[in-house]
Amino acid sequence: MKIIESNFYNEALRFIRYGCEMGWHERNAGNISLRLLKEEVDSVSEDFAFEREWVSISYPVPEMANEFIFTTATGSYFIDIQNCAETKFCICQISGDGGSYRVVWGGTKPTSELCGHLMSLGQLRKRSANRAVYHCHPANTVALTYVLPKDDKSFSEALWESETECAFVFSEGVGLVPFFVPGSLDLAIATSEKIQKYNAVIWSFHGVFASGETIGSAFGLAHAIEKAAEIKIKVLSTGLPVLNTISTEEQKKTANTYGYKLNEFKD
């Protein structure tokens, strides 16, 4: 099968288009990654070419040794993704020691956030079936990073109380990292530490880095976070006293009803 006929490629195209409709992908903002399953690799490997140079990874990822990662190519404008789409993605093979990668299909160079994606995908596979990451720049979530205290507890509780389903969509909460230069190793390290506990990490003044079992579920988590953030921003923007909210007990009850347990942060 050709890669452009595969489910994972077409799912990526669809969800990138939805993200653009949301206004989350200005200029070349956003990137995605997916650790391919063996059957997915086998189904499309006729398209691979093993001629390009190995490139060292700034932080080795032994957890990802020998894996194939489907990701977006650096500089890709998602809003124009349909134009020569196959050049806006690439598949990287990770070396046997996890210290380098080479592009075996697609655009010449993967996203500048590749290291962060690889480190986080490596952590995720240790504790979950999540093998996809979706990164975007949703305005309301970013806006909240200017007004809420910079910690996981404050963000998680603010989102849980803003929309009823958040209590089970991300019962573990969300991680929050402070400012880091985009694409930096510091950002990659901080994110991979948070993703050991949370399926989504909010990057201060920047965006959301959400994971899932599929690109669609990672997108869905980012969407749920952004919707709750939008409601919170709207409530704050009224300037009116907040008379009602979803109590912690109600959040716990909601999570329990659907088989989850709300994370209890220590003060």
3-class state of residue 111 by DSSP: coil
Instruction: Name the minimum Å distance from CB 145 to Zn ion.
Output: 13
113 catalytic per annotation = yes
3-class state of residue 46 by DSSP: helix
Map the footprint of Zn ion across residues 127-146, applying CB under 5 A.
Answer: none
Tell me whether residue 54 or residue 205 sits nearer to Zn ion (CB atom): 205
Tell me whether residue 110 or residue 207 sits nearer to Zn ion (CB atom): 207
* 187/193 Cα distance (integer angstroms): 10
Query: Tell me, what DSSP letter sits at residue 108?
Result: S
The CA distances from residue 179 to 37, 69, 122, 203, 230, in Å, are 33, 27, 23, 7, 21
Instruction: Name the minimum Å distance from CB 29 to Zn ion.
Output: 5
**Residue 89 contacts residue 136 (beta carbons within 8 Å):** no
Two structure tokens written together for 180: 């880091």
Q: Phi then psi for 122, rounded to 5 degrees?
A: -65, -40
Residue nearest to Zn ion (CB): 207
Instruction: Name the minimum Å distance from CB 136 to Zn ion.
Output: 8
Q: Which stretch binds Zn ion (CB under 5 A): 15-23, 163-171, 207-215, 246-254?
A: 207-215
* 35/41 Cα distance (integer angstroms): 10
Instruction: Name the minimum Å distance from CB 135 to Zn ion.
Output: 6
Q: Which stretch binds Zn ion (CB under 5 A): 8-16, 116-124, 206-214, 239-247?
A: 206-214
The size of the interface with Zn ion (CB under 5 A), counted in residues, is 1
Q: Which stretch binds Zn ion (CB under 5 A): 5-13, 101-109, 201-209, 255-263?
A: 201-209
Give the binding site for Zn ion (CB under 5 A): 207
Which residues are tagged catalytic? 113
